[in-house]
Structure 1
Amino acid sequence: MNESTRRRFLLGTGAWASATLLAGHGMAHAQAARAWPDRPVRLVSPYGAGGSNDTSARILAEQLGKRLGHPFVVENKPGAGTRVGNELVARATPDGYTMLYAAAPYAVVESLYGKLSYDPRKDLRAVSLAVVAPVFLIVNADSPFKTPADLVAYGKANKERGLTFASPGSGSGPHLAGELFFKEAGVKGLNVHFRGDATAYTELLAGRVDATLTAITTALPHIQSGKLRVLGVASEQRSPIYPSAPTLREQGFANVIGYGWFGFMVPAATPQPIVERLASEVKAILAEPAVNQKLAGLGLQAMGTSPAEFAAFIDKEMTRWDAVVKQVGIRGE
């Protein structure tokens, strides 16, 4: 065998070996997906127990366990604006047995806190957007505010004080939506941050803040009893959760769009067949009327998307809120 022939042979066998190796990896991944899961799966909630992230995670985990034959165990890893839970999953073995029930702050933590110990664009991959939580503009029913325009007029008439909004935390979807409202209305505003929706509504009921722009679930009993009033919803269309509330867009605030969301993510190197199977199972669960009803009771709208759709959604959220954070000058607390 001459040198030229030997080189061609080695190149050919090298290419064949590489192709065989790649094919072997592909077969191994496919076999892993067919076998997955064969033991319990850990679903990390980046919040403490009892909130809508934790509760909806447990609803979906129970259904996934039933469909896939092994339990999906929710683990609460709160802290640092969801960064603790996010990083834990980003660093986990990418085998489909550790996943994240990501929340809306996932898309804004880098803008708020600067460089992180993980890369939210590269270290995790999207599986499926599970639910969205529309954000409602709500006031005390004893206030004179019947429309968002009334609220804005009051803020402009009290230039030194402006408006005060109760928020369930710095950098949260409601906080950012509130900043959008102040900017769009051209009114001075202050977001007062509390630990969750319940405390924010306590302050609103006591008359210590003018309004809140946040999820409606905790407020519903107070709305039904006539203590709180809904002025609008910050979404593109009216929400089936409270369809009588007109959108803020309908009322002249075209750019005030904001909502919370939760969705499934996994370590970036998780095999594609597992990602696709999980997305398919989540979508099927979210199509079930009984599950929809439970989630609606938490103020959540069921979604269920493909991995590509969820990835595009996260990318859009990151770009949109990064601009808001920079314009307003928000920093993470």
Structure 2
Amino acid sequence: MVISRRVLVQSLATLMVAAPSVRALAQNPWPTRPIRLISPYGPGGANDISLRILADQFEKASGAKFFVENKPGAGTRIANAEVAHATPDGYTFLYAAAPYATAEALAGKLAYDPRADLKPVAMAVFAPIFLIVNAKAPYKTLDEFIAYGKSLPHGLTFGSPGAGSQPHLAAELFFQDAGVKGLNVQFRGDAPAYTELLAGRIDATLTAISAALPHIENGALRVLACASAERSAVYPQAPTLRELELRNVVATGWYGFMAPAATPPAIIASMEASVLQAVGNAEIQQKLVARGLEAHGGTAAEFARFIEEETSRWTRIIREAGIKEE
């Protein structure tokens, strides 16, 4: 998804409003040392891939050093907590993912306060999620896949990149809508889930397509459907699950930057501008689409509203559906 003209105009307005803060940065230069970008997933998945693309662009644009650190586990809560408790000096940022909005509903009390300890900086990327199976499996359509699942006493096994992720929740909605038993197997990112799918040890994944694209292109994996509300430009030949009558299975992964809450506003404004500039870059957009991702820039204020909306929506779904962390 290309960043909208409206977002670009708003980002320029943000820069104008932030001018005094930027002048303050000139008096107290930032950055003067490498900046840590914390990924809540392991290497090779959509979060890690998109973060490294953006980090390279930040370096090209600023000349500063940006290091990606992978801190997977506990449904992204390990990374969230580390950044929440980091020194708020502008040298540690979280590349937050969708489980940020579902952590409390699934896990209860957290080691950090998601509203008070971390501050949104900018929205960056959407990761459309796709239902993908091993190409050697006997089913070639969604109906055949569901029929296969109903024939199994234990039902279907889906790989998900961590508890509370959009793939985890989408899979639970899939089981309910399809009327089939199912088990969510949690991994520390997309890449390990696809390793298991290729080995035939799980039946499917319903997650970001990034790590799967080479295997789809060489015929080892097959795409059955997309969980977006509309067909995705990333893989437009895949029908949506809504089109195939599973109307409630709508979910999209997302990633954006957050900082410790007490980080100086001038640094937040500078980083926000860097993110919006990066995702507005045509070359970066092309790199993301080629890896199954969509640029989706948003200001700090827009990202904050988005997180609140996602938290409200998924908390309701989790409670109504009785979804529990495994």
Shared fold (TM-score greater than 0.5)? yes
Aligned to 1:205: 198
Deviation at 1:101, TM superposition (A): 1.2
Match of 2:93 among 89, 93, 99: 99
2:40 matches 1:80: no
Name structure 1 gaps, 5 residues minimum.
1-25
Aligned to 1:296: 289
Query: How far apart, CA to CA, are the structure 1 residues paired with 2:199 and 2:313?
Result: 34
Aligned to 1:32: 24
Contact map agreement 1:166 1:194 (CA 8 A) in 2: yes
Query: How far apart, CA to CA, are the structure 1 residues paired with 2:255 and 2:43?
Result: 15
Query: How far apart, CA to CA, are the structure 1 residues paired with 2:82 and 2:188?
Result: 23
Secondary structure in structure 2 of the residue aligned to 1:283 = helix
AA in 2 matched with 1:209:
I
AA in 2 matched with 1:247:
T
Aligned to 1:227: 220
Query: How far apart, CA to CA, are the structure 2 residues paired with 1:79 and 1:167?
Result: 12
2:282 matches 1:285: no
Query: How far apart, CA to CA, are the structure 1 residues paired with 2:75 and 2:210?
Result: 21
Contact map agreement 2:119 2:259 (CA 8 A) in 1: yes
Aligned to 2:129: 135
Query: How far apart, CA to CA, are the structure 2 residues paired with 1:67 and 1:222?
Result: 33
AA in 1 matched with 2:307:
I
CA offset digits 1:110-149 (Å, max 9, x no partner):
2222111211122111111111111101122233433323
Name structure 2 gaps, 5 residues minimum.
1-17
Aligned to 2:106: 112
Query: How far apart, CA to CA, are the structure 1 residues paired with 2:146 and 2:19?
Result: 61
- The correspondence of residues 58-69 of structure 1 with structure 2, limited to 5 A, is 58-69=52-63
Change (3 A) 1:295 1:91: same
Report the count of equivalent residues: 307
Match of 2:304 among 305, 311, 319: 311
AA in 2 matched with 1:84:
I
Query: How far apart, CA to CA, are the structure 2 residues paired with 1:169 and 1:27?
Result: 40
Aligned to 2:14: none
Query: How far apart, CA to CA, are the structure 2 residues paired with 1:134 and 1:60?
Result: 18
Change (3 A) 1:83 1:32: farther
Change (3 A) 1:207 1:77: closer
Query: How far apart, CA to CA, are the structure 2 residues paired with 1:48 and 1:227?
Result: 23
Aligned to 1:275: 268
Match of 1:169 among 142, 157, 162: 162
Deviation at 1:236, TM superposition (A): 1.6
2:176 matches 1:180: no
CA offset digits 1:42-79 (Å, max 9, x no partner):
32223344443333223212322332342223333334
Query: How far apart, CA to CA, are the structure 2 residues paired with 1:77 and 1:139?
Result: 28
2:144 matches 1:160: no
Structural RMSD (CA): 2.6
CA offset digits 1:70-99 (Å, max 9, x no partner):
222333333433222212221233343322
Aligned to 1:19: none
Change (3 A) 1:88 1:320: same
Deviation at 1:103, TM superposition (A): 1.7
Deviation at 1:175, TM superposition (A): 1.4
Change (3 A) 1:92 1:198: closer
Match of 1:56 among 47, 50, 54: 50
**TM-score normalised by length of structure 2:** 0.83
Deviation at 1:166, TM superposition (A): 2.5
Query: How far apart, CA to CA, are the structure 2 residues paired with 1:62 and 1:52?
Result: 16
Query: How far apart, CA to CA, are the structure 2 residues paired with 1:277 and 1:95?
Result: 13
Change (3 A) 1:144 1:311: same
Contact map agreement 1:37 1:97 (CA 8 A) in 2: no
Aligned to 1:126: 120
Percent sequence identity over aligned pairs: 58
Secondary structure in structure 1 of the residue aligned to 2:164 = coil
Change (3 A) 1:211 1:37: same
Change (3 A) 1:38 1:152: closer
2:183 matches 1:190: yes
Bigger CA drift: 82-91 or 139-148?
Answer: 139-148
Aligned to 1:242: 235
Deviation at 1:249, TM superposition (A): 1.4
Change (3 A) 1:89 1:208: closer
